[in-house]
Amino acid sequence: MINRMQRSSAWCWIICLAWLLMPTYAIAQPGNLLGGKSLLPGLDSPTSLEPTIVTRLVPATAAVGEIVTLEIRIGLGPEAYVYSQNPNVGAETRINIKQVTGLEPIDGRFIPDKEPKTVIEPLFDNAKLEKFYGGVTWSRKYRVTAPQASVSGQINFQVCDEATCNPFEEPIQLTLKVAEANAPTPSLKMLLEEAEPSVSRDDPAAKVTETSRPRLTGTLLASQTLRSDREVGGDKEPISFEAELLELPSQEEGLSEVVLAIRGRIEGKWHLYALDQDPKMFALPTVIKVEETVGLTPIDAQFLPDHAPEVTHPLEDVTQLVHHGEVTWQRRYRLDPALFSGSVTGSIRYQVCEDGSCLPPHTLSFQLNTSAVAPLPTTETASTVAGPVEEELPPHKRGLIPFLITGILFGYLALLTPCVFPMIPITISFFLKQAEKEHHNPIGMASLYCFGIIGTFTLIGVLTAAVFGSAGLNTFANNVWFNLFLAAVLLFFGFNMLGLFEIRVPSWLLTWSSTKERSGGVIGVLFMAFTFTLVSFTCTFAFVGFLLPMAARGEFYWPILGMLAFSTAFASPFFFLALFPSYLKKMPKSGGWMNNVKVTCGLVELGAAFKFLSVADVSWFSEPFLFDYSLVMTAWMVIGVITGMYLLGMFRLPHDSPTDHIGVVRLGFALSFLGFSAYLAAGIFGTQKPDGFLWQQIVAFAPPTYETKQDIDLGPAVTHDELLYALDVDQAIEHARSRNQPLFFDFTGTNCINCRFMEINVFPKEENRELLEQFVRVQLYTDTIPAMQDAQRSTELLTKNRTLQSEWFNDATLPAYAVVTPDGKTILGSYKGSERSQGQFNRFLKTGLEEWQRVKATASRNSSTRR
């Protein structure tokens, strides 16, 4: 028993010794290469997670007036990453610049040198996290304004891999070597800083207080007195504030410079704490907040007092910065009269104390309103510039005859849309059966078929517009159940043509048909006309969406005449197509080759069904889920190969007649199908995609592909040719206001073929891309917003997008484009449809930008006149 206890005791000592040695080995790793310190010492990840951190000013030497860049570079291994500055479940990178001397910020924030990778994290309720793999460099530009320039602060970040994360904190302490310039022209800020009182470096205030500046003077634009209703011992609170907005002389043409001044008057022995008072020193700092205002860009990084605060030590090791009597905090802004609305709002949170007692903290709000600057231009004062000249005058204002001619032209153009081709084999198959009847009247049936198409187009179009309005046509054409119904119709006819089953009429209907054979034929023809209208409606509603909103507004006779002109031209070729089978019947040996035509058409129907299934898929899931680009394109390729093999006689179906040879025409069709499949294969699997007109049309017709991301400024967005397009129009307008940039509105749809054509073939052109980069770009989807997780927000945006298009363009035609002022209210240029001639879209973009520059210049001149 004793030996057994001794052995157990020995094993315990061995295990304990191993436990002590293991963590010693695990933490034996090098420290931060550049002085960065992990906040969790002893828990560092492997060496691959150790970052290299470089902070520097580029260039290291610059003269007053020149621009330098503050760079913060974090170097990592390829598998490690840091988070972006966008909120990332509490793990975002934070760059905190605490003090800047002799440098004026140009950029509003730090900008990364690459786009982060957005991933969905299941552990955090599928939150979207933005990660920079392999490291990142953040940069921010400053202008040198004084002979001594420095910046200090810190950066907090996490370095992670697939297994662990380590937090780091790196101080930022940089001093710029300022070179002497040849008699530089002193700026306003330089003159003010030269007048600042000197503070000894031995004074504690020199380490903790902000730079002060003498009180500025200028033209008073607005003022407001602020005082609390609180009482102290029966008297009013011993402090009051005055908020003032002053206009200063501007050094830039077309821009004004203003200063927002907050003056506090403190009575008796009471005192107020400074803005940079350390709250750990038993005192609450004064906080001045100003809401972001369109047209006002801060020049100073913070509010500055007109004199340095007093340094007091109420307790040992406690330093407090206080103001007695009167103090004025000032901050300068650059004002753009073209955008400034004339109102500035904000708040002041403060606490006043005297020896031994303090009043509770309190907040006062202010709102300064001024009419001394030019108001924002509206649609009445700014010109509306349409892109293409032919779009400026709507057809219904050019006279009835030109309007009807336009309807006829659109009818013939609609024959070229992809939705019409699937109806050709159905029409041939139907009238082949009709031609077999003894009492068949080919001219009468063909006429009835065309009149059925014309009647159903006009009736469905007018009723849809009257009930749903202009945007209802778009909604109806992209409805999930409507497209599933169309796909079911095509699959039904397709498998029927392949010989899978026969459509048998019920016996009671056959009996009724035998007695009234002629009436039965009429019903069948009308049903075919109705089916044709439904299937082709999704491709032809672009013209209908342009024409029928006038019917919804009460002008019924013109839309009806226009629809008659459109549908008559559209249906006229099918009159001859309906006659065609009766002449086919007279040709010798018609049975065998007609079945080949029937099977070929059935395979084409199956391929066309994938298009409508993909539309339903996108409408249901807001982006391709089941029938995506790869699946549909591969299905078309496979169907093309099967069709080619069938026409070459490599296999037969049950109803085919045996043959020992094929004709030249049949061989030509077989090679066409096989060549089309090879063309698709090159586009799907090839390293270099085809670049011809045919491929452009195929890609536009195929299901869309979206590259979505969450941008820190724009919110949810999609990418086209590496350019971001916001999906939330309200957030895009706020971003455009802050940057004083015009907006590019792209009214589009997930299932709009012409929209995809423009995105793939027109937007990426170098001359167009250079212009698009100058806008804040927005895509306003009117059917389904892709990758929008918030269903309620998606519904709100859809309603707003449809309303905007209906009010601005007076129709639901897609695509439609507009150049808009940053506030989202004034149209500077518009363009509808796809590009019809080379350079047309480019001229529209240029015209919009030129109009924006004109509006800005006009507003600036108005502002100068008022002054």
- Distance (Å, whole) CA 593 – CA 526: 28
Cα(825)–Cα(804) distance, rounded to whole angstroms? Answer: 10
Work out the average pLDDT over 274-297. Answer: 86
pLDDT score, position 38 = 41
In sequence order, what are the beta bridge partners of 120?
A: 128
pLDDT surpassing 90 at residue 725: yes
Q: In this structure, what token pair is assigned to residue 518?
A: 């002629």
- CA dihedral of residues 91, 92, 93, 94 (deg, nearest 10): -100
Cα–Cα nearest to 420, from 584, 544, 533, 312 = 533
Asked if domains 210-369 and 706-864 share a fold, the reply is: no
Digit-coded pLDDT (tens) for 39-57: 433 334 444 567 888 888 8
User: How far is residue 640's CA from residue 630's CA, in Å, rounded to a whole number?
Assistant: 15
Say what the pLDDT of residue 443 is.
Answer: 72
**pLDDT per position as a tens digit, 142-164:** 888 888 889 999 998 888 887 78
Residue 458 has pLDDT above 80, yes or no: no
Mean pLDDT calculated for residue range 631-658: 88
Q: What would the DSSP string read from start to end of 581-625?
A: HHHHTTSSSHHHHHHHHHHHHHHHHHHHHHHHHHHHHHHHHSS-S
d(CA 318, CA 595): 99
- State which H helix or E strand residue 743 sits in: strand 743-748
Taking only the tens place, the pLDDT of each residue in 727-741 is 989 899 999 988 889
Reported as a pLDDT band with limits 50, 70 and 90, residue 322 is very high
Residue 445 pLDDT: 74
* Per-residue confidence band for 506, with pLDDT thresholds at 50, 70 and 90: low
Q: For the residues 83-98, what does the mean pLDDT come to?
A: 78
Query: Torsion over CA of 705, 710, 714 and 717, rounded to 10 degrees?
Result: 10
Residue 98 has pLDDT above 50, yes or no: yes
Residue 272 pLDDT: 92
Q: Which two tokens stand for residue 245?
A: 């907005």
Total number of residues shown for the chain: 867
Greater pLDDT, 36 or 439:
439
Cβ-based neighbours of 397, under 8 Å, separated by 6 or more: none
DSSP state of 113: S
Which of 191 and 16 is assigned the larger pLDDT?
16
Residue 732 token pair? 């895009």
Residue 623, both tokens = 């982006």
- In the chain, the largest separation of any two C-alpha atoms, in whole Å, equals 117
Better-scored residue on pLDDT, 424 or 204: 424
Structure tokens at 170: 């790196």
What pairing do the DSSP bridges indicate for beta strands 776-781 and 743-748?
parallel
Within 10 angstroms of residue 697's Cβ, the number of other Cβ atoms is 16
Rounded Cα distance between 730 and 434, Å, is 57
Structure tokens at 375: 């108001």
Task: Give the span between the Cα atoms of 680 and 637, in whole angstroms.
Answer: 6
- Binned at pLDDT 50, 70 and 90, residue 641 comes out as very high
769, amino acid identity = R
Q: Quickly tell me which residue has 């004339």 as its tokens.
A: 342
Cα–Cα distance measured from residue 221 to residue 225, given in angstroms and rounded to the nearest whole number: 14
Residue carrying the six token digits 């009436």:
519
Long-range contacts of 7-11 (CB under 8 A, 24+ apart): none
Output the pLDDT for position 779.
Answer: 92
pLDDT in tens, 747-786: 988 877 788 888 888 999 989 999 999 999 999 988 888 8
Of 398 and 450, which is predicted with more confidence? 450
- C-alpha radius of gyration, the chain, whole number: 37
Rounded CA-CA distance 278/171 in Å is: 19
282: number of Cβ within 10 Å:
12
Range with the lowest mean pLDDT among 25-29, 91-95, 530-534, 655-659? 25-29
Superfamily of domain 210-369: Thiol:disulfide interchange protein DsbD, N-terminal domain (2.60.40.1250)
Q: Residue 778: left (phi > 0), alpha (psi -120 to 50), or beta?
A: beta
Query: What pLDDT, on a 0 to 100 scale, did the predictor assign at position 824?
Result: 86
Range with the lowest mean pLDDT among 337-341, 357-361, 538-542?
Answer: 538-542
Residue 214, CA atoms < 13 Å, CB-side half-sphere: 12
CB atoms within 10 A of CB 172: 17
Mean pLDDT, the chain, rounded, equals 74
Cα angle 452, 457, 460 (rounded to 5 degrees) comes to 115
Q: Which residue has the higher pLDDT, 41 or 826?
A: 826
Residue ranges of domains in the chain: 37-191, 210-369, 415-592, 706-864
Q: Which of 248, 347, 250 is nearest to 291 (CA)?
A: 347
DSSP-assigned beta bridge partners for residue 345: 367
SS3 288: strand
Tell me, what's the pLDDT at 434? 62
pLDDT of 250 over the 80 cut: no
More confident residue, 659 or 584: 659
Residue type, position 730, single letter: D
What is the model's pLDDT at position 184? 44
DSSP label at 163?
A: S
Instruction: Return the higher-pLDDT residue of 16 and 194.
Output: 16
CB within 8 Å of 577: residues ≥ 6 apart: 424, 427, 428, 431
Higher pLDDT, 109 or 15: 109
Q: Comparing 596 with 125, which gets the higher pLDDT?
A: 596
CA dihedral of residues 181, 183, 188, 189 (deg, nearest 10): 30
Distance between CA 25 and CA 588 in Å, rounded?
93
**pLDDT surpassing 80 at residue 233:** no
Q: Residue 169 class from Cβ within 10 Å (0-12 exposed, 13-18 middle, 19+ buried)?
A: middle
Strand partners for 824: none
Report which secondary-structure segment, H or E, holds 541. Answer: helix 517-547
Least confident of 236-245, 444-453, 499-508, 802-811: 499-508
What tokens does 308 get? 């340095």
The pLDDT, as a whole number, for residue 652 is 82
SS3 content of the chain, % helix, strand, coil (to 5): 40, 25, 35
pLDDT at 287 over 90: yes
Q: Are 154 and 137 in contact (CB under 8 A)?
A: no
Say what the pLDDT of residue 776 is: 94
Specify the DSSP class assigned to residue 797: H
Q: Any idea which architecture 706-864 has in CATH?
A: 3-Layer(aba) Sandwich (3.40)
Q: Is the pLDDT of residue 227 over 90?
A: no
Greater pLDDT, 617 or 150:
150
pLDDT at 690 over 70: yes
pLDDT over 60 (residue 205): no
pLDDT for res 231 = 75
- Identify any residues that bridge with 172 across adjacent strands, giving them in sequence order: 153
The whole-number pLDDT of residue 745 equals 95
- Across the strands, what pairs with 153? 97, 172
Report which of 602, 465, 598, 608 is spatially closest to residue 535, judged by C-alpha positions. Answer: 608
pTM of the model: 0.44
pLDDT band at 437 (very low <50, low <70, confident <90, very high): low
Q: Report the candidate in 475, 237, 484, 498 with the shortest Cα–Cα distance to residue 362.
A: 237
Token pair 């009234």 in the structure block, residue? 516
* pLDDT given at position 634: 92
**Which CATH fold would you assign to the domain 37-191?**
Immunoglobulin-like (2.60.40)
